[in-house]
Structure 1
Amino acid sequence: MKYSVVIVEDHILLSQALAGLVADFDKFKTLYVCKNGKELLTRFKDPKNIPDIVLMDINMPIMNGIETTAIIREEYPQVNVLALSVEEDEKTILKMLRAGAKGYLLKDTEKSILEHALEEVIETGYYHTKDVTNLLINSLNPKKEASVILKDREIEFIKHACTERTYKEIANMMCLSPKTIEGYRDAIFEKLHLKNRTGLVIYAIKNKIFTP
C-alpha cells in the first residue's frame, strides 16, 4: 500500500516534475495535481480525491496556500499539509505553520530530504527542519527587551511632553532652563530608541505613563 500525495502548484512544469518525483518514492504515489487552493477544495468534494498528504505551494492565484491550509485543518483534519515553497521569510513560514501545515520545505530541497519529510509526516504527524524548529521556539519564547528604568524627573518630563506645551513652557513648569529640558529630551529619546515627540507619546500611552 502506498500513501497518496496531491501536489498544489501553479507552475505546470514544476508540478509535473514533483509528481514524477513523488511517484518514484517507494511508499508514495501521486494522486493528482492542482493549480491552486480553490481547485484542490473542489476536488476534495469527492472522497476518492482526499489524499494522505498535500504538498502545498504558498503563492498561488485565486486561493493561496495559507488560506487553503487553514480550511483543510478545519474541514479535513485527517489530511497532512506539507508546505513546499520558495518563500524564506520568517513571517510567511510562521503563518503557514499556524494555518495548520505539518512541515515547511524550500523548493530547492534535495529529493532524499523530501522523501524523508513525507515519511516523517506519515509516521509522526509533522516534519520540521532545524531552522524551522528554532523559528518555532523563538516565536513561542520571544526575546524580552531589556527593561528601561526612568527617573522621576524623566517621567515628569514625558507627561508634560505628551501635552501641547512647548519645550520652553515645560522648562518653566519644571523650573529648569530650556537647555536642560533639551538635554532631558535627547537623553530620553536615546534611552527609549525614539526619534521624535510623536514616538514618545505613543511610548507613554503604551506603557501607561500618560493617559490621553
Structure 2
Amino acid sequence: MKHKVAVVDDHTLLLEAIGGLVSDFENFEVVCLCKNGQEFLNKLKIPSNIPDVVLMDINMPLLDGIETTAILKEQFPKVKVVALSVEENEKTILKMLRAGAKGYLMKDTKKEILEEALNQVIEKGYYHTNTISKLLIGSLTKDETEVELKEREVAFIKHACTEMTYKEIAEKMFLSPKTIEGYRDSIYEKLHLKNRIGLVLYAIRNGLFEP
C-alpha cells in the first residue's frame, strides 16, 4: 500500500514538477496538488484527499505554509509536514519547526534525497538533511543522548522551544536574565550548539519538545 502525499506550492510549474517526481517514487502516490494553504485545507474536507505527508511551501498567498502547518497540527495531527522551500532564513525555519513541521528541505534538493526524506518521515517521524543541520547548528555531538542535563537546564530548553524571549524565560523561571544567559551558554557548550534553532532540533530529537 502506497503512502499518500500532497504538494502545496503557489508556483504552478514547480507544483506539477514536484508532484511528478513524487509520483515516480515506489512507496508514494500524490493525492492532491494545491496552490496555497487555504485550497489545501478545503481539499481535506474529502477524506480521500487526506495525505500521510504534505510537502509544504512557505511563502504563499491566502494562507502561508507556517499558518497552514499550525492548523494541520491542531486539526489533522497525523498528517506529517515537510517544508520544501527556498527560504534559508533561520527565523523562518524555526517558525516552521515550531508550527509542527517534521522536516525541512530546500527546493534544489536532489530527487533521491526527497524520496529518502519522505520514507524517513513515515518511518521515524522526522527528517533533517545534513545541509540544513549544518546551516542551523554547525555540528552536534555524536553521543548527544549521553549528555547529562540538570533539571533546570531541561526546563530552560523546553522554554527556549517556545516564542518566549530570554528575558521572558528568566521571569518564568524566577531567575535573572544573566543566570539564564549562563544556562544558555553552558548548554550550547555541552551540546556543541551554535544557536537557538540547534537547541530546538536537539529537543525534538531527544523527546524534550513535541512540535
TM above 0.5: yes
Distance in 1 (CA, whole Å) between partners of 2:90 and 2:185 is: 16
The match for 1:58 is: 58
Distance in 2 (CA, whole Å) between partners of 1:5 and 1:142 is: 39
Report deviation, 1:142: 4.7
Distance in 2 (CA, whole Å) between partners of 1:124 and 1:18 is: 23
Contact 2:105 2:132 survives alignment (8 Å): no
The match for 1:17 is: 17
Per chain length, whose mean CA-contact separation is higher, i.e. which structure has more relative contact order (CA < 8 Å, sep 6+)?
Answer: 2
Q: Letter of the 1:34 partner, please give it.
A: C
Percent identity, please.
60
* 1:84-114 deviation per Cα after TM superposition (whole angstroms, max 9, x unaligned): 0000001100000110000000000000000
Query: SS where residue 128 of structure 2 aligns?
Result: coil
List alignment gaps of at least 5 residues for structure 1: 145-212
Distance in 2 (CA, whole Å) between partners of 1:129 and 1:54 is: 17
Q: Letter of the 2:9 partner, please give it.
A: E
Q: Letter of the 1:82 partner, please give it.
A: V
Q: How does 1:60-139 map to 2 (within 5 A)?
A: 60-133=60-133, 135=136
Contact 2:55 2:82 survives alignment (8 Å): yes
Q: Letter of the 1:66 partner, please give it.
A: I
Distance in 2 (CA, whole Å) between partners of 1:30 and 1:121 is: 16
Query: SS where residue 105 of structure 1 aligns?
Result: strand
* 1:58-96 deviation per Cα after TM superposition (whole angstroms, max 9, x unaligned): 000000000000000011001000000000001100000
Count of residues paired in the alignment: 144
Contact 2:58 2:83 survives alignment (8 Å): yes
Report deviation, 1:130: 2.8
* 1:105-128 deviation per Cα after TM superposition (whole angstroms, max 9, x unaligned): 000000000000000000000001
After TM superposition, the score normalised by the length of structure 2 is: 0.64
Distance in 2 (CA, whole Å) between partners of 1:75 and 1:21 is: 28
Q: Which has the larger radius of gyration?
A: 1
The match for 1:151 is: none
Report deviation, 1:48: 1.4
Distance in 2 (CA, whole Å) between partners of 1:142 and 1:62 is: 37
